[in-house]
Chain A
Amino acid sequence: MGTKLESGVVGSEEEAGSRAPLLSIRSVAKSFGRNIVLRNISLDVSEGEFLTILGESGSGKTTLLRIIAGFESASAGEVWMGNERLDRQPPYQRRVNTVFQNYALFPHLTVEENVAYGLRVSKRPDAEVLTRVSEALSKVKMSAHAKSKPAKISGGQQQRVALARALVNRPRLLLLDEPLSALDANLRRQMQVELKSLQREVGISFIFVTHDQEEAMVMSDRIALLRSGELEQVATPREIYGRPATAYAAQFIGHTNLLKCEVKDGIARCLPLMWITKVPEGPALFSLRPENIRLATGNVGIVGTVRVRGRVCQQAFHGATELIRVECGNGLVLAVRIAGRDAEAAPMGEIELEFSSSDAVPVRESPDRI
């Protein structure tokens, strides 16, 4: 099973391969009693990389993070940092720091004392503590609140303090457990940008856990998509969007039409659609993004485009674009994203659609089948 899984991951490894990985997770599994939370996870993180672990709640993403931080021990497998075995060390010896989901700021300490905590417990000289803490606070623009208690500052500010508290220790790897989930939408977008540029600035590898695919796309160098304790795909955002490996990846990241086809004699059929493909004979799944379908123009289609007629049955206005659902007969309903002005111009009755057959991406049902 492991080798099959890795084959699904191939292609995204070139970037990691060029440098020695900072963190290497090798065949890690975790179960709580009978409940299997993670199976056979292998993943490398390189120096300076922003890697996002993306998954729904219950997919095991937080558990994976906690294994790296040292709050849980893996049931099987190993975690290496450089040429050190990490999973045998207690959390307080690992050069890994965490930004917790609810920040976990110490309520009895001031902002400044919170940030100084890691340096104090490792008995750094006072002068060094002072300068590093004030540097860290100014980096996250929290110098003005140095003397406040955590309860007195806002959620966004607590977030910054948590970040400073972790970064001041100069960890080799920073773990962030859904750090933005408690913030409202506007603040969240602002923090995404700040966090990303901060990461570029300090050059520390980030492992960022989230359930929000948009957030993952915006921020990450690579995304590791986790589903029910298994990795579905590890790739750059562009790659995972354009070339999803599995049906789940295609649906979870962005919006898509999943076409169940039968391939015979080099032709994929999903009536009333048909196109030429190199996929082996038999049943196959294709992902077709709504924005890759357009209103047909001209009389005859060019080679490599597929045309289909249908009736618009639903319209949803999204501002710049409009999402329409088109009944194409045979029970096939396609979601199509078109520009808002096209939708205004187009007669909303019978329409003709087209897409190029190369945009129909073959995907697998799940990582370990086929």
Chain B
Amino acid sequence: MELLVKENNTLSNSPWLLLHASAVFAFLYLPIAVLILYSFNGEGVGGFPPRHLTLGWYRILFADGPIWDSVLNSLQVAAAAVVIALGFGVPAALALDRTQFFGKALFRRLVLLPLILPGIITGLSLLMLFNVSGTKLSLLTIILGHGTALISVATTEVFAGLQKLDRAQEEASLDLGANYWQTFWRITVPNLKLPIVGAALLIFTLSMDEIAVSFFLIGRDNTLPLEIWGRLRRGITPEINAVSTIIFLFSLVAIVLWYRLRVRSEPDVDVGSEIVQTAEGHTI
């Protein structure tokens, strides 16, 4: 009960709310705990209580060639997706912030749509495009899919940054004789460092984890989630728990990195509401 510090004396503590909150947290963390626990279980997945704790599954995992190939593929896809999403997402944010053109409202909605749309629609519509244009499915098509869908993340993050940017800084730069190109690299980009880096981390993580779009655009080479998916269909082994645990740890690192980056430069930033805004595209 020490956990609770009453916000003020008029609100009496509610044991029901506390109980409910604890139950929700248990619900949210139960699968993750089970997952990690059984990655060390010699007897396989399921089966209570866990017996013969072992690192054996990790050993098998490290010797598993196809998994590591798929990890490599995923890393390539994620890196390329970051480049595409930022390459088009940053200009898109600039365009939404400072230009007027015919169809801007439609453009805005179109850019943001993949955020809220079920992945299957984005994936299938791209599949039809590649089919009609005769493009062979490969990692490249996955990269195009991820890059396109995640432009929305880059755009919302950078647009939010632009809203806070003092336009006078850029005016001062132009006034002092820098041209647009110089002003962009010397003033605009340094001021947007945080949203850009934040967006890059977010895009990278989301791409590493993406499966619904990749599912339809996959060629011969698997990404990590698709490799796992393929194995799940064949049956479950603690090796998958092991690789999932490692993914979980990497996600944790990414969160901590992202969070610390934010907190260090803007102590009062509300990371959560930014995620919401990103997810909803409300900032635009």
Contacts and interface: CB of A to CB of B under 8 A. Distances in A.
Interface in A54-76: 70-73
A97 B8 CA distance: 18
Interface in B1-32: 8-10
Contacts of B9: 70, 72-73, 90
A92 B8 CA distance: 14
A86 to B, nearest CB: 13
Interface residue range, chain B: under 10
Contacts of B8: 71-72
A21 interface: no
Interface in A70-128: 70-73, 90-92
A75 B9 CA distance: 12
B47 to A, nearest CB: 52
Contacts of A72: 8-9
A312 B10 CA distance: 59
A203 B24 CA distance: 53
Interface residue range, chain A: under 10
A98 to B, nearest CB: 13
B13 to A, nearest CB: 14
Nearest to A66: B8
A72 B11 CA distance: 11
Contacts of A91: 10
A300 to B, nearest CB: 66
B272 to A, nearest CB: 23
A313 B10 CA distance: 58
Nearest to B12: A90
A182 to B, nearest CB: 24
Nearest to A92: B10
Interface in B237-272: none
A73 B9 CA distance: 7
Contacts of B10: 70-71, 90-92
A72 B10 CA distance: 8
Interface string B51-74: 000000000000000000000000
A92 to B, nearest CB: 8
B9 to A, nearest CB: 5
Nearest to A73: B9
A313 B275 CA distance: 62
Nearest to A91: B10
A73 B12 CA distance: 13
Interface string A305-326: 0000000000000000000000
Interface string A214-243: 000000000000000000000000000000
B165 to A, nearest CB: 28
A92 B10 CA distance: 9
A193 B50 CA distance: 79
A227 B10 CA distance: 28
Interface in B119-139: none
A71 B6 CA distance: 12
A92 B12 CA distance: 13
A91 B11 CA distance: 10
Nearest to B9: A73
Nearest to A69: B10
Interface of A: 70-73, 90-92
Interface of B: 8-10
Given A70-B10, A71-B8, A73-B9, 8 more contacts: A70-B9, A71-B10, A72-B8, A72-B9, A90-B9, A90-B10, A91-B10, A92-B10
11 contacts: A70-B9, A70-B10, A71-B8, A71-B10, A72-B8, A72-B9, A73-B9, A90-B9, A90-B10, A91-B10, A92-B10
The 8 closest A-B pairs by CB, nearest first: A73-B9, A90-B10, A91-B10, A71-B8, A70-B10, A71-B10, A72-B8, A72-B9
